[in-house]
Amino acid sequence: MSIIDSTTRTAQIDGLHDPLSVLSPEGTRHSNDVLDPYLADVGDQELSDLYVDMTIVRRFDQEAFAMTRQGELALWPPLLGQEAAQVGAVRALRDSDWVFGSYREHTAPLLRGADLAQWMRVWKTQTYAGWQPHELHVAPSQIIIGSQALHATGYAMAAKMRGNDDVAMACFGDGATSQGDVNEALVFSSTYSAPTIFLCQNNGYAISEPVEVQAKYPLAQRAAGFNIPALRVDGNDILAMLAATRVATERARAGDGPTFIEAITYRMGPHTTTDDPKRYRREREVEDWKERDPLLRVERYLESRGSSVEGLREEAKVQSDRVAKDMRAGARAAQASPSDAMFEHVYASGSDRVTQQRKQHAALLGSLKGGAAA
């Protein structure tokens, strides 16, 4: 489909005033001209599979949060409440498409099979990356706000130069839209018609700063300044997120350039396990968003269709409990990387400078130990 105005060649914004949705918080399915064509293959079984995905992601997230409180992990940035925004987007991609996320994007590596023991080493401060990026097509999580948007754009430009139709998706929060890196990425993606998807998960807060203070107008509206079409979507609607990302991937693969998706969602938990959200937001606000829970609305819809939600819950619980158990066991067995691991993955091929630095590092270790370097 085209979301570029054919008469003016300017970018359109769908869902600007009312975020695009097909599944209400009450579990009612309604039509949407923009999204429906991209959901023709999604029936009750496919929706149930997405529900299981979201349940696994939530259980994984909650287990990591608990492990941090118990002293088994150093820190954790929870994604509670944002499961639909992430699962819907990731499941719309091909395995060959790349995902470039921040520290809160746990869904892509989890659904693509990251080794949980290796991953937990990151949050035990034992290593710098929780998986092999080229195996999962998921870049290492970025702590620098918004920097992954540039990485995604660079990859997308390279994919276009190579002549393949792979897509790069940059995932970031509302706060990152104020960063120069994100805006520079939008400039380059627009200029070079790069196959980039900019997924902004507007979860209401940049740490403690409400989005209303950051921006007077919807964030999706900013994309028009770069002549990038945008979709403003109910980020707690798993079907809407799946369809919106399919719209974006279709455009990218057709050579029509980048798309900006603003997913309206909510961060139900703290910014990280070091944060106390009660200091800057009201409990009533949190309670209101609980009624928009992405898993709850799927349950309500399937119940209205006569499906056995209890059976689905049990299936999801069995799978998610297994993931949680494996994650905890992996974290307990995790060992720190050798200190010279920092010299790996610096260049695609060998470098005399890195080789020299590795030798200097080995000599330093040897001197500290009072003997030959290990």
Q: Hey, which residues does 319 pair with through a beta bridge?
A: none
Q: Which two tokens stand for residue 44?
A: 């009750």
Q: How many CB atoms lie within 10 A of CB 342?
A: 15
CB-facing half-sphere around the CA of 175: CA atoms within 13 A: 15
Q: Which of 58, 52, 15, 59 is nearest to 34 (CA)?
A: 15
Supply φ then ψ for residue 4, to 5 degrees.
-115, 130
Q: Which two tokens stand for residue 343?
A: 């010299």
Q: How many CB atoms lie within 10 A of CB 289?
A: 18
User: How do 196-202 and 98-100 pair as beta strands?
Assistant: unpaired
| Cβ 197 vs Cβ 170: under 8 Å | yes
The owner of tokens 């925004």 is 85
Q: Please provide the DSSP assignment of 40-97 as one string.
A: TT--HHHHHHHHHHHHHHHHHHHHHHHHHHTTSSS-----TT-HHHHHHHHHTS-TTS
Query: Which active-site residues does the annotation give?
Result: 267, 271, 280
What is each CA distance from 311 to 237, 294, 302, 362, in whole angstroms?
A: 22, 18, 12, 57
Q: Which two tokens stand for residue 175?
A: 């706060």
Q: Is 311 exposed, middle or buried (0-12, 13-18, 19+ CB in 10 A)?
A: exposed
What secondary structure letter does DSSP report for 363?
A: H
Q: Which two tokens stand for residue 34?
A: 């923009």
Task: Provide the greatest CA pair distance for the chain.
Answer: 75
